[in-house]
Amino acid sequence: MDQLKFVVEASEAESITQKLGLPSVRHLLPALVQPAQSLAHPPISNYHVAAVGLGSDGRIFLGVNLEFPGLPLHYSVHAEQFLLTNLAVHRCPRLLAFAVSAAPCGHCRQFLQELRNPSDLQIHITSQKTNPNDVTFEPLRDILPNPFGPFDLLDDETPLLLERHNNGLSLSDLANGFVNSQSNGSDKNGSTSTSTTLLRVAALEAANDSHAPYSGCPSGVAVMDCEGKIYKGSYMESAAYNPSLGPVQAALVSYVAGGGGGYERIVAAALVEKEAAKVRQEDTARLFMKLVSPKYLIVTVKLVAVHVIHASFCPLHIKAGKFNFLDESAPQNDNS
């Protein structure tokens, strides 16, 4: 098998299953867990976790844990969160089953409750199987009895995680207040007007896809690498609040799953959220991106919209070998 990818197309999954002589694609999931663990990024714990899931469209999706030195531990991304974000980014409407290297923590069991009919989700825990030929799955309800979730708080018409959302956000002014400075005139190290517009639009799309039924505060983040490729992620809430996944983490999941490479290759980012949101992501996004990618400096831009949208940009500004902070509240010098 070639190098493992974060998304395995349905035809390829069927082909691998046949080559290995397995009875079904579902039996392939546990076989992929160990190689998937090598894709994890846990520099703090050095504990590699992987979750490999089967989507309703026949594709296989991978999830791994991500940790971020210098940030509090609760900013970490669990493998199951990565897995669901990977499905969401690739528009897969349902997770049928997944195999995971260790029993899901309570945090992840709760996050999985945001799916439709979560109790029926089938799980295989490889660390609990002494016989590699034992490919049995158990429903989530067996490891999370008496659950609490969206069915306790929302009506049946509210879209849940992985289902289509449209939060009705729109931007009417994509250029107000943005100052961009580049030292070498190269698009590779900064953001052109066109690229920043594309970045904002991607962040808006992510915000409109956001699952935020409890706070009513959708948000989305888009990041751009040094080659101009854009990766986006949506804020995903949990009925229990704390297991919610922030939009920056979701965008970095998209970046890792999309083969973006090291975080230092990210040169710009945008956050879109409501102006007067009760749950705001801006300060967290500033802290997160500054520590994950030290090149980041953040310029805040306020945009006029049907719903007033707030967007934060993190373009790379380098001049004379040092970073220059640009703040919208301070006088700007176009010649800087």
Does any domain span residue 334?
no
Least Cα distance to 102 among 166, 52, 167 occurs for 52
**CATH number for the domain that contains residue 274:** 3.40.140.10
* 65 labelled binding-site residue: yes
* 67 labelled binding-site residue: yes
* 208 labelled binding-site residue: no
Does any domain span residue 331?
no
CA dist 316 and 266 (Å) reads 9
* 282 labelled binding-site residue: no
Tokens of 239: 């009925």
In this structure, the answer to whether residues 140 and 192 fall within a common structural domain is: no
The 10 Å Cβ neighbour count of residue 18 is 11
The residues, ordered by sequence, that sit 6+ positions from 21 with a Cβ below 8 Å of its Cβ are none
CA dist 45 and 198 (Å) reads 36
Does any domain span residue 333?
no
Does any domain span residue 194?
yes
In this structure, the answer to whether residues 235 and 277 fall within a common structural domain is: yes
- Give pLDDT, residue 192: 60
- Relative orientation angle of helices 247-257 and 79-89, to the nearest 10 degrees: 80
pTM of the model: 0.85
- Give pLDDT, residue 320: 27
| High-pLDDT (> 70) share of the chain, % | 79
Tens of pLDDT, residue by residue over 67-126, are 999 999 999 999 999 999 999 999 999 999 999 999 999 999 999 999 999 999 999 999
- Please list the ranges in the chain whose pLDDT falls under 70: 1-2, 132, 172-193, 294-336
**Rg, Å, the chain Cα set:** 21
Pairing mode of beta strands 266-274, 322-323: unpaired
Tell which of 153, 168, 200 closes a domain: 153
The residues, ordered by sequence, that sit 6+ positions from 190 with a Cβ below 8 Å of its Cβ are 180, 181, 182, 267, 268, 315, 316, 317
The residues, ordered by sequence, that sit 6+ positions from 307 with a Cβ below 8 Å of its Cβ are 168, 169, 170, 274
Tell which of 153, 174, 195 closes a domain: 153
Does any domain span residue 276?
yes
- Give pLDDT, residue 318: 29
Rounded to 5 degrees, what angle do the CA atoms 326, 332, 335 make? 100
* 205 labelled binding-site residue: no
Does any domain span residue 25?
yes
User: Can you list the positions of beta strands (E) in 213-295?
Assistant: 219-225, 230-234, 266-274
How many structural domains is the chain composed of? 2
Domain that holds residue 256: 187-323
* 66 labelled binding-site residue: yes
- Annotation marks residue 273 as catalytic: no
CA dist 272 and 170 (Å) reads 10
- Give pLDDT, residue 56: 97
In this structure, the answer to whether residues 21 and 109 fall within a common structural domain is: yes
In this structure, the answer to whether residues 13 and 149 fall within a common structural domain is: yes
In this structure, the answer to whether residues 12 and 147 fall within a common structural domain is: yes
- Give pLDDT, residue 1: 56
In this structure, the answer to whether residues 15 and 144 fall within a common structural domain is: yes
Among the options 9, 80, 264, 328, which is catalytic?
80
User: Which backbone phi and psi does 255 adopt, to 5 degrees?
Assistant: -65, -50
